[in-house]
């Protein structure tokens, strides 16, 4: 597998370079130079495949000889360690539960696979790779957990003091080993700025091999394709067109779905579900793309005003607006509607939606008003216990906190406190 940049189609670099670099030097995004179709033979045996086998087969075709088969098998066995079950919420809608991983969000899939793949690519390097991540909450936890104890890689996570939830902070600060946390006395933007400055610091980069692990890395998109296949495999009624609805922020998840469809998975249509940050639905409506400052909402992992994977979506449709809107419908909803639907689904069905999944459920229901003969699959991106402060007042009772999260409460926090001070950060990195 070789990759080009969305800003330079003539570029062609191998997967290991794209993964270890993250971003092309021209500020585009890496895309596979070919998205091959799966053979009919794949679909013949599909019904009986395990999740890991699906992942292996998809990778085998997509990655070609970039990773030898035995190593690929191991990477998949170490990263795809929990399932993505479908829950039938109503006769027309299934919920694809992507929250059974260590940090209870779909980001575990991307982060774990990326960690194992990077670990594989650095295995024979003498130098240690340092990964810098600024986080406003969720990404840092998934990355920390994914890279925990990966040989040859150290992870440094910067988070804004007092601005992540208590349990999110625990996810970042209690692992130890190769995972270090810096508690920055500032905002998320300050954290991001410190990381950016480090990448621009030539002197630092001569001494330290650094890269990032944010969602634009192609290694995070690849494993996000697997669960679209897993979902389709579990669909009871394959006669109705399958419409996948994706609660979206940076649109990595939806982009991975488009790639799965390109490989031949029979997805009839996509629904892009957003909160008030409705840049992509507006683009689909009007043909004009206008990024905006992000608006805070209760589905805050989707508070993105400039979706980073939009360039990849455009690329997949050859920059053709008409083609994109044939494939994707966009919906946006308010916090008020989100709360209402959490309450309604809980009282009618006893199922607790997290705020992000709730946005998705609203969107598929809107879509199905006009397209009744479809079967919806809503990607459930997080477990409701990650958003207790939103969910509990709405449903009027306690949400059960799974063991992965509950056990963190007693673990001691370890973080280095720091001001917004690049020289101090640099000294820390070179310590």
Ligand X SMILES: *Cc1c(COP(=O)(O)O)cnc(C)c1O
Task: List residues near ligand X by CB under 6 A.
Answer: 105, 107, 138, 215, 247-253, 301-302, 356, 381-382
Nearest-approach distance from CB 163 to ligand X, in angstroms: 16
Contacts (Cβ under 8 Å, ≥6 apart) of 259: 32, 35, 221, 225, 316
Q: What angle do CA 296, 287, 375 make, to 5 degrees?
A: 75
Contacts (Cβ under 8 Å, ≥6 apart) of 397: none
Please compute, for residue 183, the number of CA atoms within 13 A of its CA located in the half-sphere on the CB side: 17
**CB burial string 331-345: b at 16+ within 10 A, e below:** bbbebeebbebbbeb
Nearest-approach distance from CB 265 to ligand X, in angstroms: 18
CB closer to ligand X, 140 vs 252: 252
Nearest-approach distance from CB 403 to ligand X, in angstroms: 19
Nearest-approach distance from CB 428 to ligand X, in angstroms: 28
Cα 353 to Cα 246: distance, rounded to the nearest angstrom: 14
Contacts (Cβ under 8 Å, ≥6 apart) of 391: 342, 352, 354, 355, 384, 385, 399
Nearest-approach distance from CB 69 to ligand X, in angstroms: 29
Nearest-approach distance from CB 249 to ligand X, in angstroms: 4
CB closer to ligand X, 160 vs 426: 160
CB closer to ligand X, 9 vs 296: 296
CB closer to ligand X, 1 vs 279: 279
Q: How far is residue 53 from each of residues 57, 58, 70, 80, measured CA to CA in Å?
A: 6, 9, 13, 10
Nearest-approach distance from CB 281 to ligand X, in angstroms: 13
CB closer to ligand X, 272 vs 418: 272
CB closer to ligand X, 167 vs 382: 382
**CB burial string 184-221: b at 16+ within 10 A, e below:** bebebebbbbbbeebeebeebeeebebbbbbbbbbbbb
Residue 327 buriedness (CB in 10 A; 0-12 / 13-18 / 19+)? middle
CB closer to ligand X, 165 vs 416: 165
Nearest-approach distance from CB 46 to ligand X, in angstroms: 25
CB closer to ligand X, 38 vs 258: 258
CB closer to ligand X, 76 vs 382: 382
Spell out where 141-234 has E strands: 153-160, 179-184, 209-212
Residue 389 buriedness (CB in 10 A; 0-12 / 13-18 / 19+)? exposed
CB closer to ligand X, 105 vs 195: 105
Farthest CA pair distance, the chain: 61
- If phi > 0 it is left, if psi is from -120 to 50 it is alpha, else beta; for residue 24 that is beta
Cα 344 to Cα 396: distance, rounded to the nearest angstrom: 12
Terminal-to-terminal C-alpha distance of the chain: 37
| Residue that is written with structure tokens 């982009």 in the block | 255
Q: How far is CA 217 from the centre of its chain?
A: 10
Segment holding 378, helix H or strand E? strand 375-380
Cα 216 to Cα 227: distance, rounded to the nearest angstrom: 19
Q: How far is CA 385 from the centre of its chain?
A: 18
Nearest-approach distance from CB 358 to ligand X, in angstroms: 11
Task: Phi first, then psi: give them for residue 320, nearest 5 degrees.
Answer: -105, 110
Nearest-approach distance from CB 275 to ligand X, in angstroms: 10
Nearest-approach distance from CB 354 to ligand X, in angstroms: 7
CB closer to ligand X, 250 vs 385: 250
């Amino acid at each position: 597998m070789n990759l080009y940049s969305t800003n330079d189609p003539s570029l062609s670099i191998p997967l290991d370079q794209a993964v270890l670099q993250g971003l092309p030097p021209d500020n585009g995004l890496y895309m596979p130079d070919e998205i091959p179709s799966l053979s009919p033979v794949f679909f013949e045996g599909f019904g009986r495949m395990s999740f890991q086998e699906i992942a292996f087969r998809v990778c085998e075709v997509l990655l070609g000889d970039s990773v030898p088969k035995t190593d690929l098998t191991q990477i998949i066995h170490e990263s795809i360690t929990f399932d993505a079950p479908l829950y039938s919420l109503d006769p027309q809608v299934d919920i694809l539960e992507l929250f059974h991983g260590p940090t209870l969000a779909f980001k575990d899939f991307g982060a774990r696979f990326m960690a194992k793949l990077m670990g594989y690519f650095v295995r024979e390097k003498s130098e240690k790779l340092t990964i810098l991540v600024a986080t406003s909450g969720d990404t840092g936890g998934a990355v920390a957990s994914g890279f925990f104890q990966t040989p040859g890689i150290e992870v440094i996570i910067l988070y804004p003091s007092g601005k992540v939830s208590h349990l999110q902070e625990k996810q970042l600060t209690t692992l130890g080993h190769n995972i270090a946390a810096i508690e920055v006395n500032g905002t998320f933007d300050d954290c991001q700025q410190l990381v950016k400055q480090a990448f621009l610091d030539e002197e630092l980069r001569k001494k330290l091999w650094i890269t990032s692990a944010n969602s634009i890395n192609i290694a995070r998109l690849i494993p996000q394709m697997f669960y679209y296949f897993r979902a389709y495999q579990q669909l009871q009624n394959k006669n109705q067109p399958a419409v996948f609805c994706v609660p979206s922020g940076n649109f990595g998840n939806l982009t991975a779905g488009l790639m799965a469809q390109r490989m031949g998975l029979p997805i009839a249509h996509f629904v892009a579900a957003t909160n008030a940050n409705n840049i992509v639905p507006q683009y689909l409506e009007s043909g004009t793309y206008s990024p905006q400052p992000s608006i805070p909402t209760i589905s805050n992992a989707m508070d993105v005003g400039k979706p980073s994977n939009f360039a990849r979506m455009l690329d997949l449709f050859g920059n053709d607006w008409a083609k994109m809107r044939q494939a994707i419908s966009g919906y946006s909803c308010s916090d008020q509607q989100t709360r209402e639907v959490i309450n309604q689904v809980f009282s009618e069905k006893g199922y607790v939606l997290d705020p992000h999944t709730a946005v998705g459920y609203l969107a598929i229901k809107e879509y199905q008003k006009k397209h009744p003969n479809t079967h919806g699959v809503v990607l459930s991106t997080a477990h409701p216990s990650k958003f207790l402060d939103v969910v509990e007042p709405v449903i009027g009772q306690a949400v059960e906190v799974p063991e992965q999260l509950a056990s963190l409460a007693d673990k001691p926090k370890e973080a280095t406190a720091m001001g917004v001070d690049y020289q101090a950060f640099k000294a820390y990195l070179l310590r």
